Amino acid sequence: MAELTRDDDTIRHPGAPARTRLRAVVFDLDGVLVDSFGVMREAFATAYREVVGAGEPPFEEYTQHLGRYFPDIMSMMGLPLEMEGPFVRESYRLAHRVRLFDGVTAMLRDLHDSGIRFAVATGKSGPRARSLLAGLGVRHLFDHVIGSDEVANAKPAPDIVLRAVDLLGVTRQEAVMVGDAVTDLASARAAGVTAIAAVWGEGDPAQLVAAGPDVVVASPAELRDWCRAARA
């Protein structure tokens, strides 16, 4: 990964928009902060069998649309919107199996202590995201947690990132968006915010790199170090 360089008070990263001193980070949730892939697979399979019936649940196709709002994915896949009810029910029931990725808690605490503010902008509904983070004991670290049901247009539209930046009280040049899906990067780019690809989850790193993120980080510790440099 290319090194940061300095130009007066502006920090630049090759390929990234010029920005002022970093003040805020907007995170996607699944695949970045939490490892929920197994729960997601089980919830999807249960919802598919309850609503559609027999046959193999097309979970691999579903994963190609991660980052989007669940009803939008159902429409894109031609599946019944009625799948949302059992999917959400099972996601709540199995939430105790979701874990924070190794290093995430330390990364959040270190950056929080340095004065950086956080928001979550997720494809989940807001209530479900807030419930999950509360159960994991880290909800208090985030100033705002925004779900796709709380904006007019979900990712890849810029609405949810712009909403997060507005609530955090920073400019787009003072914020970055961290995601693990092409949809996240597209949303960040449309919002005019530096797009950081996190490649420690279940996503395809090659696909993310091909989407042209401004920055690629391979671990929460690497993201922490990058943010510290951008904050300095």
Catalytic annotation, pick one of 7, 8, 9, 28: 28
Q: Are 119 and 145 in contact (CB under 8 A)?
A: yes
The string over 3-33, giving b where at least 16 C-beta atoms fall within 10 Å of a residue's C-beta and e elsewhere, is eeeeeeeebebeebeebeebbbbbbbbbbbb
Q: Is 30 a catalytic residue?
A: yes
Catalytic annotation, pick one of 7, 9, 30, 180: 30
Nearest to 119 by CA among 165, 170, 83: 165
Q: Is 110 a catalytic residue?
A: no
Nearest to 109 by CA among 227, 2, 14: 227
Q: Are 209 and 216 in contact (CB under 8 A)?
A: yes
Residue 62 burial (10 A CB sphere; 0-12, 13-18, 19+):
buried
The residues assigned a catalytic role are 28, 30
